């Protein structure tokens, strides 16, 4: 994730939203790069992805999108499937299973 701030201290609402979505899915172990620390990185990642905004999310080195795309993937279930392809079981699946037992 290329973001403003860090997962422990996001410095914009969109970066915070990405961190929260990943947390909901139980994804805690990922690399985050604070683009505010390096103006060249901030512009370079925008040029690389041809995406004008930060944060930017990459799964397995492949550009996924920004906050809006990750939110959409979270809402429609695509993020669960993408994580599964990476061998990551979304924590939401377990939460749903627990809910179904009630």
On whether 67 is known to bind a ligand per the annotation, the reply is no
Q: Which pair of tokens denotes residue 14?
A: 């969109």
Q: Which residues of the chain carry a pLDDT beneath 50?
A: 102
Residue 20 to residue 61: CA distance in whole angstroms = 20
* pLDDT at residue number 55: 98
* pLDDT at residue number 64: 96
Residue boundaries of the structural domains of the chain: 2-100
Instruction: Tell me the backbone φ, ψ of residue 64, rounded to 5 degrees.
Output: -100, -50
pTM of the predicted model over 0.85:
yes
* pLDDT at residue number 11: 97
- Using CA atoms, how far residue 80 sits from 1, 24, 54, 65, 93, in Å, is 17, 11, 22, 16, 8
Q: CATH fold of 2-100, please? A: Glutaredoxin (3.40.30)
* pLDDT at residue number 99: 55
Torsion region of 12: left, alpha or beta (phi above 0 gives left; psi -120 to 50 gives alpha): beta
* pLDDT at residue number 100: 54
- pLDDT tens for 57-78 read 999 999 999 999 999 999 999 9
């Amino acid at each position: 994730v290329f973001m403003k701030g860090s997962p422990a201290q996001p410095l914009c609402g969109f970066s915070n939203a990405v961190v929260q979505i990943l947390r909901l899915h139980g994804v805690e172990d990922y690399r985050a790069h604070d683009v505010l620390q390096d103006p060249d990185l901030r512009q370079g990642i925008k040029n690389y992805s041809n995406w004008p905004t930060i944060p930017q999310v990459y799964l397995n080195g492949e550009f996924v999108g920004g906050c809006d795309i990750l939110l959409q993937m979270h809402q429609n279930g695509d993020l669960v499937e993408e994580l599964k392809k990476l061998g990551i079981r979304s924590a939401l699946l377990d939460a749903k299973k627990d809910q179904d037992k009630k």
